[in-house]
Structure 1
Amino acid sequence: MSDPAADDAKRIEKLYEFGERLNESKDKSQNVEDYQGIIDAAKSSIKAKQLAAQLIPRFFKFFPDLRDAAVECLVDLLEEEDLAVRVQAIRGLPLFCKDTPEYIPKIVYLLVQLLAAEDFVERDAVHKALMSLLRQDVKASLSALFGRIANVDEPSADDLIREKILNYMKDKVFPIKAELLKPQEEMERHITDLIKKCLEDVTGAEFRMFMDFLKSLTIFGDKAPPERMKELVGLIEAQADLDAQFTVSDTDHIDRLISCLFMAIPFFVRGASSSKFFNYLNKEVLPLFDELPEERKLDLLKALAEISPYTMPQDSRQTLPSIVQLLKKYMPRRKTGEEMNFTYVECLLYAFHHLAHKAPNATNSLCGYKIVTGQPSDRLGEDFSEHYKDFTERLTTVEELTRATMKKLTQGMAGHNKAMSAAKTDEEKNTIVRLSS
Structure 2
Amino acid sequence: MATTKNGTAAAKSDSELDKLYKNYDILVNAKDKITEHKDVYEAILAATKGSTGAKRLAATFVSKFGPKFPSMNDASLDAMFDLLEDEDSQVRRTVVKVIPDMCVDSPQLSTKIADVLGQLLLAEDPTELLLVKNSLILVIKKYPKEAMAGLFSQVMGEDDMTREKCIEFVCNSIMKHKNELFAKNFETEQFFIEQIKQVLQDVTAEEFQLFVDVLLQLRTMATRKGAQDLVDIVANQADLSSDFQDTDADYMYRLVTCYRLAVKISLERGASLDPFISFVCHKVFPILPVMEAKDSIDNILQLFAQSFLCNVTVELAKSIIELLFDMLLHYTPEPPSVDVDDSEAPTLQFTYVECLLFSFHKTVQLCPEFLSGEDATERLKDFRKRLQYFAHGCQLSHSRLEVTLKQKTNEDIQNIRKVAHATTGNINSLIKDFFHNPPSYKTKVKLSFLKEQPKVMAASKRPVPTNDTTTSPAPKRKVSPIRFSSATNTSKKTPGATAGKRQPWSVYEPPKGSYSNKLDTSSLSESNWRGGWGGGRRNRRGRGRGTWRTGGKWT
TM-score higher than 0.5: yes
Quote the offset at 1:244 in angstroms.
Answer: 0.5
Question: Residue in 1 aligned with 2:277?
Answer: 278
Pick the aligned partner of 2:242 from 241, 244, 247. Answer: 244
Question: Residue in 2 aligned with 1:24?
Answer: 29
Could you tell me which amino acid in structure 2 is paired with residue 399 of structure 1? Q
Pick the aligned partner of 1:254 from 217, 230, 252. Answer: 252
Identity of aligned residues (%): 28
Question: Residue in 2 aligned with 1:429?
Answer: none
Unaligned runs of 5+ in 1: 363-370, 418-433
Could you tell me which amino acid in structure 1 is paired with residue 17 of structure 2? I
Q: Is the 8 A contact 2:119 2:154 kept in 1?
A: no
Question: Residue in 1 aligned with 2:305?
Answer: 305
Distance 2:240 2:102 in 1: 47
Q: Is the 8 A contact 2:59 2:98 kept in 1?
A: yes
Distance 2:200 2:151 in 1: 15
Distance 1:316 1:281 in 2: 10
Q: Is the 8 A contact 1:117 1:123 kept in 2?
A: yes
Is 1:353 the equivalent of 2:352?
no
Question: Residue in 1 aligned with 2:513?
Answer: none
Is 1:39 the equivalent of 2:36?
no
Question: Residue in 1 aligned with 2:328?
Answer: 324
Partner-residue secondary structure (3-state), 1:379: helix
Distance 2:270 2:75 in 1: 57
Distance 1:254 1:415 in 2: 31
Q: Is the 8 A contact 1:22 1:31 kept in 2?
A: yes
1:23-422 paired onto structure 2 within 5 Å: 23-26=28-31, 27-150=33-156, 152=157, 155=158, 157=159, 159-221=160-222, 224=223, 226-266=224-264, 268-269=266-267, 271-289=270-288, 290-310=290-310, 311-312=312-313, 313-328=317-332, 336=343, 342-362=350-370, 371-372=371-372, 375-376=373-374, 378-380=375-377, 382=378, 385=381, 387-413=383-409
Distance 2:301 2:379 in 1: 31
> What do residues 349-399 of structure 1 show as CA deviations (whole Å, max 9, x unaligned)?
43343334344444xxxxxxxx53xx34x422x376555333311221122
Q: Which moved more, 1:405-414 or 1:291-300?
A: 405-414
Q: Residues 126 and 322 (structure 1 numbering): CA distance in 2 closer, same or farther, change over 3 Å? A: farther
Is 1:13 the equivalent of 2:18?
yes
Distance 2:309 2:51 in 1: 72
Quote the offset at 1:103 in angstroms.
Answer: 0.9
Quote the offset at 1:292 in angstroms.
Answer: 4.7
Distance 2:412 2:55 in 1: 76
Q: Residues 123 and 332 (structure 1 numbering): CA distance in 2 closer, same or farther, change over 3 Å? A: farther
Q: Which moved more, 1:303-312 or 1:123-132?
A: 303-312
Partner-residue secondary structure (3-state), 2:112: helix
Distance 2:234 2:351 in 1: 27
Q: Is the 8 A contact 1:327 1:349 kept in 2?
A: no
Quote the offset at 1:182 in angstroms.
Answer: 4.6
Unaligned runs of 5+ in 2: 414-521, 526-555
Quote the offset at 1:88 in angstroms.
Answer: 1.2
Distance 2:129 2:412 in 1: 57
> What do residues 61-119 of structure 1 show as CA deviations (whole Å, max 9, x unaligned)?
22234332221111111111111111112223221111222111111121111111222
Distance 1:103 1:211 in 2: 30
Distance 1:165 1:177 in 2: 16
Question: Residue in 2 aligned with 1:368?
Answer: none
Quote the offset at 1:326 in angstroms.
Answer: 5.0
Partner-residue secondary structure (3-state), 1:413: coil
Q: Residues 335 and 147 (structure 1 numbering): CA distance in 2 closer, same or farther, change over 3 Å? A: farther
Q: Is the 8 A contact 2:348 2:393 kept in 1?
A: no
Distance 2:284 2:208 in 1: 23
Distance 1:177 1:111 in 2: 20
Quote the offset at 1:281 in angstroms.
Answer: 0.8
Distance 2:411 2:274 in 1: 49
Q: Is the 8 A contact 1:18 1:35 kept in 2?
A: yes
Q: Which moved more, 1:56-65 or 1:383-392?
A: 383-392
Q: Which moved more, 1:268-277 or 1:303-312?
A: 268-277
Distance 1:193 1:436 in 2: 48
Quote the offset at 1:59 in angstroms.
Answer: 1.0
Q: Residues 58 and 387 (structure 1 numbering): CA distance in 2 closer, same or farther, change over 3 Å? A: closer
Distance 1:322 1:175 in 2: 51
Distance 2:220 2:259 in 1: 22
Q: Residues 345 and 407 (structure 1 numbering): CA distance in 2 closer, same or farther, change over 3 Å? A: farther
Q: Residues 435 and 288 (structure 1 numbering): CA distance in 2 closer, same or farther, change over 3 Å? A: closer
RCO greater where, 1 or 2, for CA within 8 Å and sep 6 or more? 2
More helix by share: 1
Partner-residue secondary structure (3-state), 1:25: helix
> What do residues 109-160 of structure 1 show as CA deviations (whole Å, max 9, x unaligned)?
211111112222222121111101111111222233234323x2xx3x2x22
> What do residues 204-249 of structure 1 show as CA deviations (whole Å, max 9, x unaligned)?
222222222223222232xx3x444432222222111111011222
Quote the offset at 1:23 in angstroms.
Answer: 2.6
Distance 1:383 1:294 in 2: 30
Partner-residue secondary structure (3-state), 2:332: helix
Cα RMSD (Å): 3.2
Q: Residues 416 and 125 (structure 1 numbering): CA distance in 2 closer, same or farther, change over 3 Å? A: closer
Could you tell me which amino acid in structure 2 is paired with residue 23 of structure 1? V
Q: Residues 395 and 123 (structure 1 numbering): CA distance in 2 closer, same or farther, change over 3 Å? A: same
> What do residues 310-329 of structure 1 show as CA deviations (whole Å, max 9, x unaligned)?
43421451342343145337
Q: Is the 8 A contact 1:61 1:96 kept in 2?
A: yes
